[in-house]
Amino acid sequence: MPIINRIAAFRDDMTAWRRDIHAHPELAYEERRTADLVAARLESFGIEVHRGLAETGVVGTLRGRGAGTGAIGLRADMDALPMAEANSFDHASRHPGKMHACGHDGHTAMLLGAARYLAETRAFDGTVHFIFQPAEEGSAGALRMIEEGLFERFPCDRVYGLHNWPELPAGVIAVHPGPVMAAADKFTITVEGHGAHAAMPHRGVDPVLVGAHIITAVQSLVSRGTDPMDRAVVSVTWVEAGTTFNVIPAEARLNGTIRTLRPETRARIHEQLTRLAVAVADGFGAVATVDIQPGYPPTVNSRTEAEEAAAIAARVVGDANVIWNPDPTMGAEDFGYMLRERPGCYIWLGHGGDGPGCRLHNPRYDFNDEILSIGASYWATLVETVLPRRD
Ligand SMILES: [Zn+2]
Ligand SMILES: [Zn+2]
């Protein structure tokens, strides 16, 4: 496996940074210690550091040799999860109720490793922005960095991301030429009927019955409205109505989630869910209002960048260890916001091992330090390939 030798040589440093971050997990927009560590390391490599974007975000800017004007962004997430760690090794969480159970400690350490190598060698022509973002876990740190001017202050032609993937063996890289992760949106349908005595239903308009018809009707959005080769989920998960046995309530609320992989499918389901709920309610003499709260957009790679990333991955881990276009997942990732702004590619880096302790968001999860050199070599090879030296 052609791991870059120089990167393999500071594997111990990457491991130490990773374990230090793991021991001091910080939640969304509170990643101050982590950001200090990232900024100090980048400065020690001689990289220009910018802080304060999205509170705790850090961007390191490095120019290669030559006068190339191309620029790319490499992104790592820094935040931990609000959950208690069940591990007892030395680098287990020292912050009760907080834990790096998604491997963002490893993502940060790998990108630092690549930054160090690239600062030493600068064997590329153009500009690399190392984007360390806060708040990936549900609080949309990527969106906030964009809204605060990420791509105006640090222009990038293309953006790249990765996530460790415990379902894949260590040293395997999966690349999708399109959707990788789903959009995750919430909805609330409020049905206003007319309250009445339960023994005299004809005096009212029963929002519970109307809600039941809406729940049934929205099942058609996926089964009849979505191309069978596409993927989507509409789940009504939380129904609220009534207070007792003998009263027909005046109102019912249906809450749920919508998961989609394509922006056009997402827009269609939002529109049809609203239309269907309003029309069904109207047919019964009730009134439905639909509130859709958009979450992360789908994470969709651009084909050209995905093909290039797969070729780069093959140079690092070998052809046999690159999986092209496996099934995406219906989980969500806020790197989708960056890929909505710029073409690019988000890969899955095999994490290895099995058993519950290896799975993301499990209280026994720990990032596999064996893949730090692989991830850092992928980043470095990517930079040297997409921003090649011309001499
Ligand atoms: Zn996560
Ligand atoms: Zn994650």
What is the number of other CB atoms lying within 10 angstroms of the CB of residue 141? 27
Cβ neighbours of residue 292 closer than 8 Å, sequence gap 6 or more: 185, 186, 187, 258, 270, 273, 274
pLDDT < 50 regions, the chain: 1
Ligand that lies nearest to the alpha carbon of residue 75, given by its number in the listed order = 2
If asked whether residues 246 and 344 sit together in one domain, one would say no
If asked whether residues 306 and 276 sit together in one domain, one would say no
Helix axes 207-218, 263-283, angle to 10 degrees: 150
In terms of residue numbers, what domain contains 234? Answer: 183-293
380 found inside a domain: yes
* pLDDT, position 356: 64
Half-sphere exposure of 158 (CA within 13 A, CB side): 21
**Distance from Cα 76 to the centre of ligand 2, integer Å:** 10
If asked whether residues 176 and 149 sit together in one domain, one would say yes
What is the number of other CB atoms lying within 10 angstroms of the CB of residue 302? 16
* pLDDT, position 390: 83
63 found inside a domain: yes
What is the number of other CB atoms lying within 10 angstroms of the CB of residue 203? 11
If asked whether residues 137 and 75 sit together in one domain, one would say yes
State how far the Cα of 346 lies from the Cα of 301, in Å rounded to an integer.
7
- Helix (H), strand (E) at residue 63: strand 57-63
Q: Are the beta carbons of 211 and 162 closer than 8 angstroms?
A: no
What CATH number has the domain bearing residue 289?
Answer: 3.30.70.360
**Distance from Cα 136 to the centre of ligand 2, integer Å:** 7
125 found inside a domain: yes
Ligand that lies nearest to the alpha carbon of residue 367, given by its number in the listed order = 2
If asked whether residues 169 and 195 sit together in one domain, one would say no
Ligand that lies nearest to the alpha carbon of residue 335, given by its number in the listed order = 2
**Distance from Cα 287 to the centre of ligand 1, integer Å:** 38
State how far the Cα of 23 lies from the Cα of 32, in Å rounded to an integer.
14
**Distance from Cα 223 to the centre of ligand 1, integer Å:** 29
**Distance from Cα 165 to the centre of ligand 2, integer Å:** 9
* pLDDT, position 165: 97
State how far the Cα of 381 lies from the Cα of 129, in Å rounded to an integer.
15
* pLDDT, position 365: 96
**Distance from Cα 266 to the centre of ligand 1, integer Å:** 22
**Distance from Cα 361 to the centre of ligand 1, integer Å:** 6
Q: Among candidates 31, 238, 258, which has minimal Cα distance to 139?
A: 31
Q: Which residues of 239-258 are buried (b: 16+ CB within 10 A; e: fewer)?
A: bebbeeeeebbbbbebbbbb
**Distance from Cα 102 to the centre of ligand 2, integer Å:** 4
**Distance from Cα 192 to the centre of ligand 1, integer Å:** 37
* pLDDT, position 354: 67
Q: Which of 293, 325, 341 is the last residue of a domain?
A: 293
Q: Which of 269, 293, 317 is the last residue of a domain?
A: 293
Q: Among candidates 379, 319, 363, which has minimal Cα distance to 107?
A: 379
Q: Are the beta carbons of 257 and 171 closer than 8 angstroms?
A: no
60 found inside a domain: yes
Q: Distances from the Cα of 64 to the Cαs of 61, 106, 119, 308, in angstroms? A: 10, 25, 8, 20
* pLDDT, position 12: 97
What CATH number has the domain bearing residue 67?
Answer: 3.40.630.10
If asked whether residues 47 and 173 sit together in one domain, one would say yes
**Distance from Cα 324 to the centre of ligand 1, integer Å:** 23
Taking a 5 Å cut-off on Cβ, the residues next to ion ligand 1 are 102
**Distance from Cα 104 to the centre of ligand 2, integer Å:** 6
If asked whether residues 33 and 67 sit together in one domain, one would say yes
If asked whether residues 262 and 123 sit together in one domain, one would say no
- Give per-residue pLDDT as tens, 13-63: 999 999 999 999 999 999 999 999 999 999 999 999 999 999 999 999 999
**Distance from Cα 178 to the centre of ligand 1, integer Å:** 21
When divided into structural domains, the chain yields a total of 2
If asked whether residues 36 and 175 sit together in one domain, one would say yes
- 3-state DSSP call for residue 235? strand
Q: Distances from the Cα of 152 to the Cαs of 53, 82, 156, 158, in angstroms? A: 12, 32, 9, 13
Ligand that lies nearest to the alpha carbon of residue 165, given by its number in the listed order = 2
State how far the Cα of 72 lies from the Cα of 125, in Å rounded to an integer.
11
**Distance from Cα 386 to the centre of ligand 1, integer Å:** 28
If asked whether residues 76 and 191 sit together in one domain, one would say no
Q: Which of 255, 272, 293 is the last residue of a domain?
A: 293
**Distance from Cα 54 to the centre of ligand 1, integer Å:** 19
**Distance from Cα 360 to the centre of ligand 1, integer Å:** 6
* Token pair 């990788």: residue: 180
77 found inside a domain: yes
If asked whether residues 142 and 276 sit together in one domain, one would say no
391 found inside a domain: no
317 found inside a domain: yes
If asked whether residues 117 and 174 sit together in one domain, one would say yes
State how far the Cα of 176 lies from the Cα of 179, in Å rounded to an integer.
7
